[in-house]
Structure formats: C-alpha cells, structure tokens
Amino acid sequence: MKKLIIDGGFPLGGSVKLQGAKNSALPILAATILCDGECCIDSCPRLSDCDASMDIIRYLGRGVRREDNCVIIGDGSISRYDIPESLMREMRSSIIFLGALIAKTGHASVSFPGGCELGPRPIDLHISAFRQMGVTVSENHGLIDCTVRGKLKGATISLPFPSVGATENIILAAVTAKGTTVISNAAREPEITDLVCFLVNCGARICGAGESTITIEGVERLDGTYHRIIPDRIEAVTYMSAVAASGGSAELRGAVPEHLRAVVPIFEEMGCNIVSHDGIIRLTAPKRLGAVKYIRTMPYPGFPTDAQAIVMAVATVCGGTSIFVETIFSGRYRHVDELRRMGANIKIEDRVAIVEGVNSLSGTSVDSTDLRGGAALIVAALAAEGRTEISSVHHIDRGYENIENKLSSMGAKIKRV
Ligand code: UD1
C-alpha cells in the first residue's frame, strides 16, 4: 500500500508546469475510436485513468502506444463492442466510451458504472439522449446493452442539467449520425471545447462549443489528427492551494487564466496576490490568509466542484469563517472527517460546510477518500505542523502526474513510500 509522507510548514516557491487536463484526455481518447486514421494526442497526462482508457482502446482493437508526452492511436480497427467489467471498474468515466462505440459499431455492451465515491452517479441523461437518437437500450444484470439499426439519427436534445459526461457522450454519438443534433443546456466546460476542437480537426462539423447550445451536423467519417490537450485547470487550483496554504510564492507555467476565472477571485479574497502574463500565473500568499465568505459549486463557468475539497483545505487555516455549498455531487464531503483528524474545525449540514479557520493543523495519519479529497489532504499536510502520512494514494494517482516530484521541486518535504 503506497503512502505519501509530508513534513509540513515549508513555504513553496519556484515554478511548476501544468499537465494536460485529465478531463479532456479521457473523452478525447474515447473519441479516437471514431477515427479511421492515426491520432497523436499530445500532452496526454501519465495517469492511471489514461492508462485504463488506453487499455480499453487496445481491447477494442486499435494499437496504442506512448511516445514521451504523446499517446498514439495507430493501426488496427475497432473489432469489438463490449467493454469487460474489469476494465470498466478501473475507471468510472469509462461510460464515456458508450457514445463513440455505438456510433462506430452500432452496438455497445458495458457494465453499469454504479455508485462511486462522490455519491450516486446516474447515467439517465446519457441513456435518454441515446434513445432520442434511435438507440434501443436495455439493462440486464448490471449490463447496459445498446443497439441501433442502421445509423444513429440526429435529434434535438434538451438536457435538464448541463451534465459534462452526457454532453460529451451525445457529441460523440452525433458526429457521424445521420442529420443534425442540437444539444440545449449543454455543459460549457473548457474540456468540452477541447473535445470539440479535436473532433473538428478530424473532420467533424460542430458549432457552439463553450456555449449552452451545441449543434452537430453528422459527417460520413472522421480522419485522424494531431491534438494538444489543454492544461489541467484543477491541477492549477491544486498547486495554487498548496502555495497559498504553505504561505509561499510560486509560478504555474502553462496556465489558462480564463479557465480559472471563478477561482482566482477566491484566492484574492484570501489575500493572495495573483499576477498572470504569457501563460504564467504567480501566486504570492499573505502572512495570514483571510477567510472566503461563500463558495457555491456550480457548472462552468461557476466554481468547480472538483476544486471544492482542495480549496476547503486552504480555508481550514484561514482567519475567520468560510462557507461552502456543494450543489453538484451529494457525497462530496468525505474529506472532511480526514481534515478534522488534522485539527480542522468544519461543520456539515446537508450540502453546506462551515469552516472555522484554525491557527494551525497538526500532521497525523489520514486516508485519501477520493481523488480530489486526497489532493485536499496534501494541501492540508503542507500547511500542517509535523508529519502527515496519507494512505490510499492510488486515488490521487488517478489525477496527478508526478505530484510528489513537482511539489519537491517547489521545496515541499514529501516522499512516497
Ligand atoms: C465530470 C468530471 C468530474 C466533475 C464533473 C462535474 C470527467 C471525466 N469528470 O464528471 O471530474 O466533477 O464533471 O464538473 O470529466 N447526473 C445525472 N444523470 C446523468 C448524468 C449526471 O443525474 O445522466 C448528475 C450527477 O449525478 C451529478 C451532476 O449531474 O450530480 C453532474 O454530473 P456530470 O456533469 O455528468 O459529471 P461527470 O461527467 O460524471
């Protein structure tokens, strides 16, 4: 069982380069199964979730290899339409292969993703959209079977909630469908725009990415292409939080400030100085951080749910009271018990967390409850007095490339054992 050992209390400095965005890489890797030619996905982060996606593509019949930062999807053709449960279980977002598989082969048979560490994660919006596009969907013994006679049909789909995964799945199903698909109340996350950018380079006809209405005109086929993944905005928030909580001053390289518009004002409210120029963001923490009055997680361009736990870790050592409201996932406060073990003062009432800042946290043994909850514990450990041991590091490895090396290069005392 791998652990991270962190000795806290050392202000971070220097600079760190951001990885490619996990949440772009996963749908883009799924999208490559639609392409006839070779795809080269640059800045594809080295994460266990990306490895799981590569395994799925291999299983389905395409050759996949990594050359430095690029993942190359080369020879072979898609010869299967099932994804075994073992591969589905490795990565919960594997449901993102559903739309692409149906579009490519007319079938998909995958196991139900089930509940996850963030609470129930239904896929009713995905299924309802596929049905509107002519897919027959049946669910038996935890398996979802999807079949379409002939080609998928374009449809006008109105999402009751701007689900990221459902928007991506509909786009992937619609790119080679017969006719035009219009998604209203689509998710507007930068990762959706990145997926669309990739698909358009492959020959897809899509407009409106980044807006609430996306229109997709089906094309006959897609070619391969070269695509560079956008920088990971949640990794950016993580390093900003680590620098702030440790009382340091450091640069993030490759950041896109526009993607961080909901986040930068929060750090400014805490008293951090933030300057950005030419893809670099420098954050300098004040002597004592101030509380943030109110953070409500919302779909993009609102404050991201993926940043909630991480920023909460900073709030635990701010002077004053910070209030968080988690509106996206019901089960997303599992890190709170672990932060409390380190001395944090947090009260939870349903979807509201009230954080009373303490003067200091103290290092102890804690367990990563999920990917971002684990990242929050790292941030807390960097601020804490003494040594923190974080277990269940595999959760953190799903989303962070080389996290201990990057933090060490910024002056953190961190090692993996
Ligand atoms: C994606 C991100 C995840 C992020 C989340 C919200 C990836 C790989 N993952 O997850 O990191 O936290 O967006 O920004 O990109 N819902 C339904 N029915 C559905 C689909 C979703 O009720 O069919 C609900 C979910 O339970 C949740 C909310 O909608 O409460 C948001 O989910 P969604 O936007 O779909 O998140 P994911 O795509 O799973």
pLDDT at residue 8 is higher than 70: yes
As given in the structure block, the two tokens for residue 57 are 């593509």
From CA 191, how far away is CA 13, in angstroms rounded?
Answer: 29
The pLDDT tens digits of the residues spanning 304-349 come to 999 999 999 999 999 999 999 999 998 899 999 999 999 999 999 9
- Nearest protein CA to atom 26 of ligand 1, as residue: 121
The pLDDT tens digits of the residues spanning 77-113 come to 999 999 988 888 887 778 999 999 999 999 999 987 6
Hey, CA dihedral for 126, 132, 138, 144, is it positive or negative? negative
CB of 93 within 6 A of ligand 1: the answer is yes
Residue 225: the pLDDT is 97
As given in the structure block, the two tokens for residue 295 are 């953070």
From CA 203, how far away is CA 35, in angstroms rounded?
Answer: 9
CB of 28 within 6 A of ligand 1: the answer is no
pLDDT at residue 142 is higher than 90: no
What are 267-276's contacts with CB under 8 Å, separation 24+?
Answer: 267/240, 269/293, 270/244, 270/314, 270/318, 272/240, 272/244
**Mean pLDDT confidence for 232-260:** 97
Residue 118: the pLDDT is 59
- Tokens 């990739």 belong to which residue? 198
Residue 262: the pLDDT is 97
CB of 166 within 6 A of ligand 1: the answer is yes
So which residues are the catalytic ones? 116
Hey, CA dihedral for 164, 165, 170, 173, is it positive or negative? positive
From CA 140, how far away is CA 111, in angstroms rounded?
Answer: 9
Residue 119: the pLDDT is 59
CB 274 within 8 A of CB 239: no
pLDDT at residue 173 is higher than 70: yes
From CA 63, how far away is CA 58, in angstroms rounded?
Answer: 6
pLDDT at residue 233 is higher than 70: yes
The DSSP string of 237-271 is: HHHHHHHHHHT-EEEEET--GGGGTTTHHHHHHTT
CB of 122 within 6 A of ligand 1: the answer is yes
The pLDDT tens digits of the residues spanning 358-402 come to 999 999 999 998 999 999 999 999 999 999 999 999 999 999 999
Residue 88: the pLDDT is 85
Residue 89: the pLDDT is 81
Non-local CB neighbours of 69 within 8 Å, separated by 6+ positions: 20, 42, 43, 44
- Tokens 């199964």 belong to which residue? 33
Q: How far is the CA of 165 from the centre of ligand 1 (A)?
A: 6
**Mean pLDDT confidence for 225-243:** 98
As given in the structure block, the two tokens for residue 238 are 């993580």
CB 267 within 8 A of CB 240: yes
Residue 317: the pLDDT is 98
Q: In the sheet that 273-277 helps form, which strands lie side by side, from edge to edge?
A: 15-17, 249-253, 280-284, 273-277
From CA 60, how far away is CA 77, in angstroms rounded?
Answer: 8
**Mean pLDDT confidence for 277-297:** 96
Length of the chain (residues) = 417
Question: In Å, how far from its chain's centre is CA 151?
Answer: 31
Which amino acid is present at 190?
P
As given in the structure block, the two tokens for residue 68 are 């430095």
**Mean pLDDT confidence for 167-177:** 98
- Nearest protein CA to atom 4 of ligand 1, as residue: 306
Per-chain mean pLDDT for the chain: 95
From CA 301, how far away is CA 237, in angstroms rounded?
Answer: 15
Residue 115: the pLDDT is 45
The pLDDT tens digits of the residues spanning 106-136 come to 999 998 765 456 556 689 999 999 999 999 9
CB of 328 within 6 A of ligand 1: the answer is yes
- Tokens 């239904």 belong to which residue? 122
**Mean pLDDT confidence for 24-45:** 97
**Mean pLDDT confidence for 60-84:** 93
User: For strand 156-158 and strand 180-184, is the pairing parallel, antiparallel, or unpaired?
Assistant: parallel
- Nearest protein CA to atom 21 of ligand 1, as residue: 163
Q: How far is the CA of 8 from the centre of ligand 1 (A)?
A: 33
As given in the structure block, the two tokens for residue 357 are 């800042």
Lowest mean per-residue pLDDT among 72-76, 334-338, 364-368, 407-411: 72-76
Instruction: Give percent of the chain above pLDDT 90.
Output: 89
Looking at the CA of residue 127, tell me the nearest atom of ligand 1: 23
Domains identified in the chain and CATH numbers:
4-19+231-416 (3.65.10.10), 22-228 (3.65.10.10)
CB 392 within 8 A of CB 375: no
In a 3-state reduction of DSSP, which class is residue 360?
A: coil
Confidence of residue 143 (pLDDT cuts 50, 70, 90): confident
- Nearest protein CA to atom 32 of ligand 1, as residue: 163
How many CB atoms are located within 10 Å of the residue 204 CB? Answer: 25
- Nearest protein CA to atom 29 of ligand 1, as residue: 163
DSSP state of 147: E
Beta-ladder partners of 109? 82, 145
Residue 338: the pLDDT is 98
CB of 125 within 6 A of ligand 1: the answer is yes
